[in-house]
Amino acid sequence: MHLFHCKQQGRAIHTHGAGLEQLRDCLITANFGHSWRLENRLSNPEDGTSWRTDMIGVDNKNRTVLIDTMSTCLSSQSNLNSRVADSHGRTLAGLKAAEYRKKRDPHIQSIVKAYDALFIPFDMSTNGALGPEASKFLTMVFEHVKAAGMSSMRRSHQDTDSTWNTTWFSVFWRQRNSSTVTATNAAFVNRILQRDSVFQQDGPSIA
């Protein structure tokens, strides 16, 4: 239903899904925590609130971690009309604003409280920039990797095929997460442009 009606041909949902898969692969490859599962609906029996988390798992400190992945489209009308900005530019300001909205969501707050969980609003922009909370979480994962002696992928992940110009775990996965979102978004933008070009060649048509 969403793909049929979405004027952008499902760009947001596909970009979101691609980023989510890469993040889960990163956590599994890093051997960070355990029991990572995608798209689980959670409930708080005290107030009847329910919310579907994009990813749930347990970190190395045995804390329940709830992750909500987002993709902030820089070319969306809402983002273009937004007045938010800071000293680091509009992109970072938009990412911060998206994180703040998620943290203030009453449904999410209720579930986080019920599960005594660590909540991570993992936001990335369509040009591959990481939000502050996403960057902070990845840094925690990379510190675990470094402590385990797996920072150099030449030794710890020798079977990983890569076209990157680095074999350091942290740089590899930051690039991979960013490029996945960027490439997926670009593919859909190209599809939109091609569709518009075909419509223009067909000439005017009735509504």
**pLDDT attached to residue 158:** 59
What residue segments make up the domains of the chain, in order of their start?
A: 2-192
Which residue is it, tokens 């930051």?
Answer: 174
**pLDDT attached to residue 18:** 83
The CA distance from 47 to 114, in Å, is 10
Burial grade of 107 (CB within 10 A; 0-12, 13-18, 19 or more): middle
**pLDDT attached to residue 32:** 95
Q: Percent helix, strand and coil across the chain, each rounded to 5?
A: 50, 20, 30
**pLDDT attached to residue 1:** 45
Which positions of the chain have pLDDT values less than 70? 1-11, 74-88, 154-165, 192, 199, 202-207
**pLDDT attached to residue 87:** 47
